[in-house]
Structure 1
Amino acid sequence: MRRLFDDELNDLNTNFTEMGMLVAKAIGTAVTSFVDHDREVAQSVIDGDRLINDREVALEKKTFEMIALYQPVTTDLREIVTILKAVSDLERMGDYARNLAQQTIQVKGNKRVDDIEQQLSEMGNIVQQMVADVLAAYVKGDAEQAKKIAQVDVRANDYYQLIYRQSIDQMRQDPEVVVGSTGYMVAAQCLKRIGDYVTNICEWIVYLQSGKIVDLNPLNTNEHAN
């Protein structure tokens, strides 16, 4: 029975990681499509979101089946619960990648601002790296690395604030960029939320290793420090 459980748990981890890779690819492709104004590539992200949703449903079903069949305890149960919670975060990240791709289609043809698009590209690179790093930390069970990844979210939040302010300034200066600048703010919000969900997964990695639920949101940490 133990060997069967271990085999199924290994499969569960593998499928979770594969879903994470799908999400990471969707995020990268969505950012590229937005910066390159490529509607065709953006549509591929939108179409591919169904695969991510299907993975979430399958993984959730499998976790419930394993809990019911094996009735795991302690560390085994923590691992299953971690996957159950983290897979939901991955699915939401995929949703925001899809939303970003939708912005590419909606703002196509409107007047654009190169500086803001460059900042969005840089913010996208940070968030993409966070996703790749958190998947690696999960595979390794590296709670300390997860804590470091969560701190990187400060940089993503800084970019969000910068893009938001500059988009507002551009709209005040030039009415022709109102639609495009609104799209920039939505795109930055999508990336910000992806970073937030990465932080959630970091917290689940810490929980997996320690059994403790912690708050790794860097903004909350700053507030507590004050």
Structure 2
Amino acid sequence: MNRHFDVELQGLKERVTAMGHMVEEQLDGAMKALTDRDVEKAKGIIARDHQVNAMEVGIDEDCIRMIALHQPEARDLRFIITAMKIITDLERMSDLAANVCERVVELKDEPPVTIPAAIYSMAEIGRDMLRKALDAFVMKNTSEALAVCQEDERVNVIYRDLVRSMVQEVSRDPGKTSPVIRLLFVGRSLERFADHATNVAEIIVYLVEGKVIRHIV
């Protein structure tokens, strides 16, 4: 039974990682749709969000089953609980990528507006944070997880600067108010994406060291 349980734990790790990579693809697709003003691609990303939701439900149900069936001891129980927490954040990150795509659909009927470089910077940092958090999960690397946490403030600073610049843009040209608001929602989604990547990294520190660092780092 122990050998079978070890196989299940490894499978759980692989499924969580696969879900994370799918979320990464969702973000990449959302940003490409935004760049290309590709409404059909945006709608495809929105539809694909349901697949991520289904993955979360399936993994969560299997985690509950594993706990009930195997009654794991402390280390393995912590791993399973960690996986359940991570997939919750991953599901929300996919939602945020879909939110970006919803703004792409809305921008189709708006006056043309230049997409600020800050939005691309936030997306790039957020994607890198997710990728590193997933690596930290696989390798149980707390130093890499902590590095992810430190990156969140970079995104916060960029987002605050974006808000200021967008307010100034509207002041100069009130006719751009509606599309600028859409882009601010995009920026907000990307800022929240980074927050959830940080949550994942903090959970990994808990997995490896048993320490809760939320609100500390």
Contact 1:167-1:181 within 8 A present in 2 as well: yes
Q: Which amino acid aligns with 1:189?
A: R
Equivalent residue, structure 2, for 1:66:
66
Q: Which amino acid aligns with 1:64?
A: I
Equivalent residue, structure 1, for 2:139:
140
CA distance in 2, matches of 1:206, 1:6: 21
- Give secondary structure in 2 for the equivalent of 1:93: helix
Equivalent residue, structure 1, for 2:118:
119
Equivalent residue, structure 2, for 1:161:
160
TM-score by length of 1: 0.92
> CA 1:124–1:112 in 2, change beyond 3 Å: closer, same or farther?
farther
TM-score by length of 2: 0.96
Shift of 1:117: 2.6
Shift of 1:168: 1.1
Are residues 1:199 and 2:198 paired?
yes
What is the correspondence of 1:1-226 to structure 2 with a 5 Å cutoff?
Answer: 1-114=1-114, 116-215=115-214, 221=217
Shift of 1:112: 4.0
Cα deviation 1:180-225 (Å, max 9, x = unaligned): 110111001000111000111011100110111112x6xx65xxxx
Spell out structure 1 runs of 4+ moving beyond 3 A: none
Q: Which amino acid aligns with 1:10?
A: Q
Shift of 1:110: 2.1
Contact 2:118-2:159 within 8 A present in 1 as well: no
Q: Percent identity?
A: 33
Shift of 1:58: 0.1
How many equivalent residue pairs? 217
- Give secondary structure in 1 for the equivalent of 2:72: coil
CA distance in 2, matches of 1:165, 1:82: 37
CA distance in 1, matches of 2:118, 2:211: 36
Cα deviation 1:160-182 (Å, max 9, x = unaligned): 11111111111111122111110
Q: CA RMSD in A?
A: 1.2
